[in-house]
Structure 1
């Protein structure tokens, strides 16, 4: 009778352990995939916001360029000498025009402390200006956090 009861016993220990291990591995990999996908989504949204901000600033820059071109067309089309024209352009453009360098420039603020810088070189003749630079730069100063004491490689002095 003892033989009969031992034969009817089902041995499911090893296969259950393997199945539990496989389920735990699949759940762990699933959670890691979900976490990675959320990180990728956040990065994609930040990238989309940055690109959108750049093109909004670029659009404002194109509008500014159109306005400046209109002023230059009006002032240079009057047939005046370049010195008189330069004075009138300075009066119309104000601080945007630097008479000494002949540069017309502006900064268009963007997000995260960045700005779009546009510089035009004032020219004579049919070509009124030339774009010298059109770039994005960090316009805000940032401070490095030095509040955490970090070992600089020097041995402590004993006093």
Structure 2
């Protein structure tokens, strides 16, 4: 009986392929982790901003409820309006300070038998970014 010699298993190319694949997977895992952390930071910032906006809207709704109660008590009343409300003709305006959320500008037009909101604008303070990492090109 004859014995056949088997050719030796060449693992050089296979080892190189597995090494490159493992390296690529490691790089992709690191990139996925960095992206997930950045998404988490943005989500937390968005949630905080949404909370502040909702608090400002709540303050405005409370002001509207107080205004409605004051107008129901005496529709012609100019004294006793809630907050820093001021009457300008048939319009009642107020600028509600909502802390970090900004200032809520509200205006209500008085109509027969009620009122209608004509302005509801949240104005946030804006500060420009002091430090920007912008590439300015190659140095001279």
Q: Does the TM-score normalized on the shorter chain lie above 0.5? A: yes
Q: Over aligned residues, Cα RMSD in angstroms?
A: 2.9
Cα distance, 1:142–1:52 mapped onto 2, change above 3 Å:
closer
2:122 to 119, 136, 152: 136
Displacement of 1:108 after TM fit? Answer: 3.7
The verdict on how the C-alpha distance between 1:97 and 1:34 changes in structure 2, with shifts beyond 3 A counting, is: same
* Alignment match, 2:109: 121
Partner of 2:37: 38
TM-superposed deviation, 1:141: 5.2
Tell me which of 85, 99, 106 is aligned to 2:88.
Answer: 99
Query: In the TM superposition, what are the counterparts of 1:1-159 in structure 2 within 5 Å?
Result: 11-76=10-75, 85=76, 88-89=77-78, 91-93=79-81, 95-100=84-89, 102-111=91-100, 114-123=102-111, 125-127=112-114, 129-138=115-124, 140=125, 142=127
Larger-gyration structure (1/2)? 1
Query: TM-score if structure 2 supplies the norm length?
Result: 0.71
Deviation at 1:142?
3.4
Name the CA distance, whole Å, in 2 between partners of 1:74 and 1:101. 17
Mapped contact 1:121–1:130 kept (Cα < 8 A)? yes
Following superposition, the deviation at residue 70 of structure 1 comes to: 0.9
Question: Alpha-carbon deviations, 1:60-115, whole Å to 9, x = none?
Answer: 11111111111111122xxxxxxxx3xx42x312741133573322324253x633
**Number of residue pairs the alignment of both structures matches:** 126
TM-score when normalising by structure 1: 0.64
Q: Which blocks of at least 5 consecutive residues in structure 2 are unaligned?
A: 1-5, 131-135
State the Cα distance separating 1:22 from its structure 2 match. Answer: 0.8
Provide Cα deviations, 1:26-66, integer angstroms capped at 9, x if missing partner: 00001111111111122222222222222221111111111
Measured after TM superposition, the shift of residue 9 of structure 1 is 7.0
